[in-house]
Structure 1
Amino acid sequence: MIAINSKLSLCPIKPEDQPILFALMQEIYTSAYQDFWKNDCSWYLDLCFSTKNLNKELNRNTSHYFFIEYNGIKAGILKYDFPFSPKQIEIPNSMKLHRLYLHEDLHGTGVAKALMDWLEKIAMEVKLDSIWLEAMEQKPQARRFYEKMGFELIHSYQLDFEQLKPDYRGIQTYQKKITG
């Protein structure tokens, strides 16, 4: 368990946590992204949060995967990888913020900012040059948050997921240079 502050902590996800992870993400992801998908988002949930994919991600030595706990309750997930560079453009010596999902009740509470500050501290400690992430073009509140946190848009592309509605396939890559 990693304490971020008195209310917020990170608990490493283990393979046996897959049913809990899947149920949590079914609630959080579905409420935030259901409208992006042609049918429903079960295909994406199965792709990302299946036992097979979880084991694959946990077996990477570059991967760090946690439940976000707020007041002792699982309220989201955080996953980051380093060193990790995107396929589309080269970002050397960097950390990818791969997943940050919070229950909607925690939006606007400062939890995401506390997690981003903690991630930046980790990146400085391991002497990385930057943190990068990808955000859906059609999620303006997420993009505004990342920009407020000092991330800059560096690349855009389209996802090739046929199950996504065409108007929701835009992805934007953001980067924040680490100073310190």
Structure 2
Amino acid sequence: MPTVKITACTTADIHILQDIAINSYGDHYLYLWHDGGMWYINRCFSDDALKKELEDENAAFFLIYAEEELVGFLKLNLHKEMDSYTAAEAMELERIYLLKSASGKGLGRMVLNFTRQYAQKLGKKVIWLKAMDSSKSVDFYEQNGFTKCGTYTLDFEAMKEEYRGMYVMKLELD
């Protein structure tokens, strides 16, 4: 197992975050888009978009390092209601993005463990997320205790229709 370090990301780190976001997204998701992903990258990873998200008190970003090398990032929405859970009880795991070179090495599991501990410190009862129904990540989340509890459809015009489906998944905490 590689040595993993997960550190809080602030507005001072915006360009480090932007670089790892674009590179990790590019490693895994460009096939989803008619335009090769440029619409989404511009929408979500521009300076303005990231600055706005980093300044949001309900969002927490973390940089993920393996053996001192930046390999990904994590975004949590700290207080986000879900079904019968209030915002005080629920936290959304919005993104775990890892470089392709870091995939399959147990880092995702370590990031999930970090997320679980972080949620427990906040007194959360559930962590929830949306995962693309066409993605292997659904199996990964199920292997790590998440269960499917709903579906969602993305309505991005630039996205290929066959990839718009998502599962809503949750992990109830003790």
* 1:118 paired residue number: 114
In 2: Cα distance, 1:80 partner to 1:34 partner: 22
Q: Tell whether 2:54 aligns with 1:50.
A: no
Q: Tell whether 2:72 aligns with 1:67.
A: no
TM-fit CA distance, 1:6: 7.5
Q: Does the CA contact (< 8 Å) of 1:15 and 1:51 recur in 2?
A: no
Q: Does the CA contact (< 8 Å) of 1:152 and 1:176 recur in 2?
A: yes
In 2: Cα distance, 1:108 partner to 1:70 partner: 13
Q: Tell whether 2:59 aligns with 1:78.
A: no
Structure 2 counterpart of 1:162, from 157, 161, 165:
157
In 2: Cα distance, 1:6 partner to 1:71 partner: 6
Structure 2 counterpart of 1:91, from 85, 107, 129:
85
After superposition, residues 137-156 of structure 1 pair within 5 angstroms as: 137-139=133-135, 141-156=136-151
**For 1:87-110, what per-residue CA distance to the aligned partner results, in whole angstroms no more than 9, with x for missing partners?**
xx4532111101100111222211
TM-fit CA distance, 1:76: 0.4
Q: Does the CA contact (< 8 Å) of 1:22 and 1:45 recur in 2?
A: no
TM-fit CA distance, 1:160: 0.5
* 1:101 paired residue number: 97
In 1: Cα distance, 2:156 partner to 2:85 partner: 24
Q: Letter of the 1:160 partner, please give it.
A: D
In 1: Cα distance, 2:41 partner to 2:18 partner: 7
**For 1:61-113, what per-residue CA distance to the aligned partner results, in whole angstroms no more than 9, with x for missing partners?**
22110111111111000111211125xx4532111101100111222211111
Q: Letter of the 1:158 partner, please give it.
A: T
TM-score, normalised via structure 1 length? 0.88
What 5-or-longer segments of structure 2 have no aligned partner? none
Identity %: 27
TM-score, normalised via structure 2 length? 0.91
In 2: Cα distance, 1:91 partner to 1:173 partner: 14
Q: Letter of the 2:161 partner, please give it.
A: P
Could you list the runs of 4 or more consecutive aligned residues of structure 1 that deviate by over 3 angstroms after TM superposition? none
In 2: Cα distance, 1:117 partner to 1:14 partner: 22
What 5-or-longer segments of structure 1 have no aligned partner? none
**SS at 1:83's partner residue?**
coil
Q: Letter of the 2:42 partner, please give it.
A: D
**For 1:106-140, what per-residue CA distance to the aligned partner results, in whole angstroms no more than 9, with x for missing partners?**
2221111111112111212221110001101111x
Q: How many residues of Structure 1 are paired with residues of Structure 2 in the alignment? A: 172
In 2: Cα distance, 1:32 partner to 1:6 partner: 21
Q: Does the CA contact (< 8 Å) of 1:37 and 1:164 recur in 2?
A: yes
